[in-house]
Structure 1
Amino acid sequence: MSFWIVAGAITVSVAAVLVRAVLRGAGRDTGSRTASDIEVYRAQLAEVDRDVARGVVTKDDAERVHAEIARRLIAADKAQKSEDSTQHRAPVGAALAIIAVGVVGSLASYLWLGAPGYGDMALKDRIAFAEEVRKTRPAQSVAQDSLPPFVDPAEMDDRYRALMAQLRETVAARPDDQQGHALLAQQERRIGNYAAAVQAQARLVELKAGGASPQELADLGELRILAAGGYVSPEAEMSLRAALVKDRSNSTARYYIGLMLAQTGRPDQAFRIWDQLLRAGPADAPWIPPILEQIEELAQLAGVNYSVPDIGTGTQRGPTAADVENAAEMTPAERMEMIGSMVVGLSERLATEGGPARDWARLISSLGVLGEWERAAAIHANAVEVFAGDQSAIELINAAGRKAGVVE
């Protein structure tokens, strides 16, 4: 409430100053140039009379000058009356209208774009708030129940509809059939019945107990997200993290974990995950198009000056491990000629665009070979900070640090 009181007081004060300036300006304008001309002409008439009295000007010349000045005075007086009645009222009204539109427009813009009553937060508070949002976000059932019930697609023919009904009956009659549940989850997903697909996939994972593959767990998480209309619920996150426990490189799970972080107020972490996925490719991976659509906006929210990199080539940028090993056998001059430019280019790219952990590791190793240990240690510390929370990336970076002699 105090925010609106202060904001309202400031708005009224500014509007009052502007209105006062307009009205005062209008008053001055009414008697401005034309009024000044009238005063000049009257002074000239008086001066002519004084010149006649002193004998400086003859009476005939004075009459001619007097007539000309009087003519100009009458014209100026008419112009002033016309100006008062037509020219000044419209600009004043227009100015007041513009002020009113500005005040109302500012209020409307803030209500649309701003967050009334929501003050700025320190980084520590933002992180704590995001964690609270993540912990208290709605459950899977709440999200699913908020969506309309599934309806068979209009293009679904009668034969396929009959086959689906038969498959559902068969799987219901054989609740322990893993292959049946896998097939049912696939077909329910195909027609867009994601809620039913979740049930089938969840039963499949349950039947396999600890033997479910990372991709099966990731598929369960993805189906839960699809069934919730794109929302990553706590249950979906649980499935995705279970997949990552078995395979840290599972791209499906990593993409959706990034989506969860973006939804819960951690665009910095989401950007790092998606940037790594984008650079790793391949270009035809299903997660590449949605990342390309959102990553620039995500980078802006994360405070990163970012340009979308080239993807899909599968080639490495910067010196390879073989380059580094060969350089170690050369003379210092030959080593610098072979690897120096590559190290510079890789360092500049990582500093401006970022990159996957393997590129950071190659740079650290290369600097160790070249004997630039202080620089290697500084880049190692930076990389550890960039990839905080990604254990596999940290292990790769620490291995490069040990190789360069900057990590014990």
Structure 2
Amino acid sequence: MLFWILAALLTFVAAFAVLRPFAMRQAPTEDARAYDIEVYRDQLEEVDRDAKRGLIGQQEAEQARAEIGRRILQVSETADGRNEKRANRRVTRLTAAASVLAVPLVSWGLYVLTGSPDMPAQPLHARTAAEPADASIDELVARAETHLATNPDDARGWQVLAPVYMRLGRFADAQTALQNIMRLSGETADMKAALGEAMVGAARGMVTAEAEEVFEQALDLDPKEPKARFFLGLSRAQEGATEEAQTIWRGMLEDLPEASPWREAAQQAIAQSGGAGAADRGPSEDQVAAATDLSETDRQAMIEGMVKGLDEKLRQNPADLEGWRRLIRSYIVLQRPDAAKEALVRAVAAFGAETPETGELKEFAANLGVTIE
């Protein structure tokens, strides 16, 4: 009920503010029309008297009467114009009033017909206090954040919230949650590795120097921590040190159990970097779309690293036609059309504008939606 009272009050205030200029009457002005006409009539009578007494000639009297008549006509026309303006202002006021009043009437009527005026209010507190099964993920996160705002030392709450932040792509919030977990429960290798992963996610798949330092700290606590080892290998691959990256991933394979999901990640990383008998050509289309067992952050970081490694190899060996195909296709899969176009330009420069290889590459790229002049 309070809502409707406030809505009606605000609507009335808004309508009054709009209509007030139209409702205000202009300050009354002295209408001298009747007075002027009376004066002119007296002047006509005076002209007639002077003509009868012979004080003015007949021609002069006619001229005076014509001039006075012209003035009377001018006063009448002015009065008609004022009356027309008053009528126009009246129509404008009525139109404005009807338009302004129609807005709330029509909107309220439509809401009554199509809305839910009887639905009870649902403030944030009531929504967050509802059953978890009936709440959305955003409401659950909001509930957890409200709880942790008043209970920042609840380690269990931060442990629940950290992986949710990662899945939602809120990497900065995930870092805060992981740091609070380590503040309350102590530093562990898996928490350090998770913190580094959040940093990689915030950097859009690039292993920054700060993230690399965190992964090194994780390995100081547990030299076999798989996530830290994988991302350190990825860091080396992104730097162009492919052999060093492969060494790190092969070391992972020696220590990982058969059921570990990181085993497949390491194998794919080695294959995509050109190791284990694979052609030294970078990731294929299927390889870029693989790694479904990894998290989104891990998969994106691995793909970005492999594509960067292929790019570096083509800068050193630009005569690899198949490598150029894979690089262009990989950038399209990663939804980076500008990078794909730039790669095509480099390939054309490497092979020459009129060579068969260039024609073949242009046709291949055009099928993917990449063209150059």
TM-score strictly above 0.5: no
* TM-score class, shorter: 0.3 to 0.5
For normalisation by structure 1, the TM-score amounts to 0.33
Q: Normalising by structure 2, report the TM-score.
A: 0.36
Q: Compare CA radii of gyration and give the structure with the larger one.
A: 2
